[in-house]
């Protein structure tokens, strides 16, 4: 591992004050696996928290994590690096929630004592930033190489229910496609299922966000969610399991299997395509949840046998795209208040079948314009590609292939641009024409805009007449 200059300077300052610095957390795993760390979490021994605050006062020390003995340094003062400094601590849980604890700082702790509170053995490793020595008191490196998640301390592990969801994203991010949870640790996690209500929704979202935004194969973490029993707390996903599909179109299996393939393909897009800024997370959640409307709309063999539906409709799920909108909204609202994320994800789910429908109907440009004004067509194009990758007909995880529906999205996006088609006729035009403001304005403007979409050659005067019903 090459230690950047700003980190070396921080270490020198710590040692000059009589302390010693250890790199901990995910940066250790990154170093072992040959990646330069992005986040530098430095644990300092033999110096008090207050001393560290004084030492790094000139580095823009942020004490937002003071309760947990964490000092966040200013990236501007650290060469652009994300640096957290902390002192060893003991966590004394006083409740059932993730944050229900009292912390006790102890700079005199041994490295092994300090590491014992960490969730998994792969996270209990440290690197001496002075000598480069790997400190591994619980066999984390062996577990990392074997792709195994193992609880560092069983008694401490079960005190924090968030660790079950940390397992979900760490298994997918750090343990490889064949990673597994140690059986005894899995038993601990299964025994923690009922503790889920004690988790703050923001923490749940953060673990899901790490899964979909940082893992190469999100499906690994999602399968863990199923195997551990924790999927019961996410019925929108749980209901996908066992929801049958037409074998001709989906020989890969039920909607759950299809959705896992789709979100893995989306992870490839996330890393290799130029998704528009601000759409990345919504795209990942949208691909994961694109078919959550199928369980409530799929025609089952029972429905055919009892005469509710003709046999020609067996396993079809007409309207599942629109039906999925309130379902995915509920899923996200239980995790986050991020209005933009919820709206974008919901629009992806609700519109994901429209390009195929337009292609099948040989729709003209006006229809594509209307879709374009509801959602970015480039995002929808990638969604369609990933949806097609949720099938054994395509190499899973690599949606870089020719796909007619997606190409239509990209072609129309190239013609129309990133911004929605702007209306020509505005409210001020109606006022200038002597129309008094009121609720009828919207109806008149919508009528004019609809005509504009069909015939872009219409000018203000022509649209004004249309708005007034002439």
Q: Are residues 392 and 457 located together in one domain of the fold? A: no
pLDDT for res 94 = 59
User: Is 151 within a domain?
Assistant: no
pLDDT on residue 31: 93
Contact 78, 58 (CB under 8 A): no
Instruction: Say if residue 344's pLDDT is above 90.
Output: yes
pLDDT of amino acid 129: 95
Same domain, 380 and 450: no
pLDDT at res. 403: 85
Residue in 46, 61, 50 with CA at minimum distance from that of residue 15: 46
Is residue 390's pLDDT more than 90?
Answer: no
Residues 412 and 420: beta-carbon distance below 8 Å: no
As a whole number of Å, the end-to-end CA separation of the chain is: 75
Per-residue HEC secondary structure of the chain comes to CCCCHHHHHHHHHHHHCCCEEEEECHHHHHHHCCCCCCEEEEEEECCCHHHHHHHCHHHCCEEEEHHHCEEECCHHHHCCCEEEEECCEEEEECCCCCCCEEEEECCCCCHHHHHHCCCEHHHCCEEECCCCCEECCCCHHHHHHHCEECECCHHHHCCCCHHHHHHHHHHHHHCCCCCEECHHHHHHHHCCHHHHHHCCHHHHHHHHHHHHHHCCCHHHHHHHHHHHCHHHHCHHHHCCCCCCCCCCCCCCCCHHHHHHHHHHHHHHHHHHCCCCCCCHHHHHHHHHHCCCCHHHHCCCHHHHHCCCCCHHHCCCCCCHHHHHHHHHHHHHHCCCCCHHHHHHHHHHHHHCCHHHHHHHCCCCHHHHHHHHCCCCHHHHHHHHHHHHHCCCCCCCCCCCCCCHHHHHHHHHHHHHCCCCCCCCCCHHHHHHCCCCCCCHHHHHHHHHHHHHHHCCCCCHHHHHHHHCCC
Q: Comparing 21-25, 100-104, 364-368, which segment has the lowest mean pLDDT?
A: 100-104
**How confident is the model at residue 87, as a pLDDT?**
94
* Mean pLDDT of the region 153-163: 94
**Res. 397: pLDDT tops 60:** no
What is the mean pLDDT of the segment spanning 332-340? Answer: 98
- Is the CB of residue 252 less than 8 Å from the CB of residue 392? yes
Whole-angstrom distance, CA of residue 107 vs CA of residue 330: 45
Task: Look at residue 67 in the predicted model and tell me its pLDDT.
Answer: 84
One domain, residues 257 and 404:
yes
% the chain with pLDDT above 70: 95
Q: What is the mean pLDDT of the chain?
A: 93
C-alpha 145/C-alpha 125 separation (Å) is 13
Q: Are residues 51 and 78 in the same domain?
A: yes
Say yes or no: 41 and 84 in one domain. Answer: yes
Q: For residue 423, what pLDDT band results from cuts at 50, 70 and 90? A: very high
Confidence of residue 38 (pLDDT cuts 50, 70, 90): confident
Residue pLDDT, tens place only, 2-19: 899 999 999 999 999 999
Query: Which CATH number goes with the domain that contains 104?
Result: 3.30.460.10
Domain that holds residue 448: 427-467
| pLDDT computed for residue 395 by the predictor | 61
Q: Mean pLDDT across the stretch 245-250?
A: 84
Residues 453 and 398 in one domain: no
Cβ-proximal residues to 126 (8 Å cutoff; 6+ apart), any chain? 22, 23, 24, 28, 43, 111, 115, 134, 135, 136
Q: Mind listing the pLDDT tens digit for each residue in 452-470? A: 999 999 999 999 999 998 7
**Is a pLDDT exceeding 70 seen at residue 212?**
yes
165 occurs within a structural domain: no
Instruction: Check pLDDT > 90 for residue 391.
Output: no
Q: Do 401 and 432 sit in the same domain of this protein?
A: no
Shared domain for 302 and 389, answered yes or no, is yes
| Shared domain check, 367 and 287 | yes
CA 193 to chain centre: 22
Do 263 and 409 belong together in one domain?
Answer: yes
Nearest to 356 by CA among 366, 371, 374: 371
- Mean pLDDT (whole number) for 132-155: 96
Among 92, 125, 146, which residue terminates a domain? 146
Judge whether residue 393 has pLDDT over 80.
no
Query: Does the structure show a pLDDT above 90 at 68?
Result: no
Closest residue by Cα to residue 40 from 1, 83, 77, 88: 83
Does the pLDDT of residue 40 top 70, yes or no?
yes
**From CA 215, how far away is CA 223, in angstroms rounded?**
13
Contact (CB, 8 A) for 423 and 398 = no
d(CA 108, CA 415): 65
CB 267 within 8 A of CB 284: yes
Q: What is the pLDDT of residue 411?
A: 96
pLDDT exceeds 70 at position 398: no
pLDDT for position 101 = 60
Phi and psi torsions of 447, nearest 5°: -65, -40
Domain count, the chain: 3
250 and 282 within one domain: yes
Give the Cα separation of 370 and 398 in Å (integer). Answer: 30
Q: Is residue 362 part of a domain?
A: yes
Q: Of 98, 116, 146, at which residue does a domain stop?
A: 146
Share of the chain above pLDDT 90, in %: 85
**What's the pLDDT at 253?**
87
- State how beta strands 39-45 and 62-65 pair: unpaired
Task: Write down which residue in 85, 112, 146 finishes a domain.
Answer: 146
Among 87-91, 202-206, 393-397, the range scoring the smallest mean pLDDT is 393-397
- Residue 65 is predicted with a pLDDT of 78
Q: Does residue 171 sit within a domain?
A: no
Q: Give the confidence band of 394 by pLDDT, cuts at 50, 70, 90.
A: low
What is the mean pLDDT of the segment spanning 213-233? Answer: 97
> How, if at all, do strands 70-72 and 82-86 pair?
antiparallel
Q: Report CA torsion sign: 384, 390, 391, 396.
A: positive
244 and 379 in one domain? yes
């Amino acid at each position: 591992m090459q230690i950047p200059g700003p980190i070396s300077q921080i270490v020198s300052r710590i040692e000059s004050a009589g302390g010693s610095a250890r790199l901990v957390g995910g940066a250790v795993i990154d170093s072992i696996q040959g990646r330069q760390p992005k986040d530098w979490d430095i644990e300092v021994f033999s110096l008090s928290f207050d001393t560290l605050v004084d030492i790094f006062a000139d580095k823009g020390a942020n004490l937002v994590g003071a309760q947990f003995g964490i000092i966040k340094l200013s990236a501007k003062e650290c060469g652009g690096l994300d640096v957290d400094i902390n002192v060893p601590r003991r966590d004394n849980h006083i409740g059932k929630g993730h944050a229900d604890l009292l912390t006790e700082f102890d700079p005199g702790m041994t490295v092994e004592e300090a590491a014992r509170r960490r969730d998994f053995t792969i996270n209990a490793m440290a690197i001496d930033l002075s000598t480069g020595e790997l400190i591994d008191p619980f066999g984390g490196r062996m577990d990392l190489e074997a792709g195994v998640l193992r609880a560092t301390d069983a008694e401490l592990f079960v005190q924090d229910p968030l660790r079950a969801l940390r397992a979900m994203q760490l298994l997918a991010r750090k343990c490889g496609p064949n990673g597994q949870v140690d059986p005894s640790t899995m038993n601990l996690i299964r025994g923690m299922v009922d503790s889920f209500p004690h988790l703050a929704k923001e923490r749940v979202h953060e673990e899901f966000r790490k899964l979909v935004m940082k893992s190469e194969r999100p499906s690994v973490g999602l399968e863990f969610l199923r195997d551990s029993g924790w999927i019961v707390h996410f019925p929108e996903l749980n209901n996908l399991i066992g929801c049958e599909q037409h074998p001709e179109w989906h020989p890969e299996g039920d909607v759950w299997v299809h959705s896992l393939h789709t979100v893995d393909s989306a992870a490839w897009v996330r890393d290799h395509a130029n998704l528009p800024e601000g759409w990345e997370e919504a795209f990942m959640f949208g691909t994961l949840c694109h078919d959550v409307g199928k369980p409530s709309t799929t025609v089952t063999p029972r429905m055919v046998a009892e005469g509710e539906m003709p046999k020609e409709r067996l396993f079809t799920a007409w309207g599942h795209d629109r039906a999925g909108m309130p379902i995915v909204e509920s899923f996200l609202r239980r995790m986050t208040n991020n209005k933009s994320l919820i709206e974008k994800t919901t629009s992806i789910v609700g519109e994901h079948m429209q390009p195929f429908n337009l292609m099948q109907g040989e729709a003209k440009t006006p229809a594509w314009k209307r879709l374009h004004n509801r959602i970015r067509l480039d995002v929808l194009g990638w969604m369609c590609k990933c949806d097609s990758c949720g099938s054994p007909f395509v190499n899973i995880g690599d949606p870089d292939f020719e796909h007619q529906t997606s190409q239509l999205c990209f072609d129309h996006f190239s013609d129309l641009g990133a911004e929605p088609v702007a209306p020509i006729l505005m409210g001020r035009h109606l006022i200038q024409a002597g129309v008094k403001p009121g609720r009828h304005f919207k109806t008149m403007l919508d009528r004019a805009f609809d005509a504009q979409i069909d015939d872009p050659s219409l000018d203000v005067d022509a649209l004004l007449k249309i708005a007034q019903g002439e």
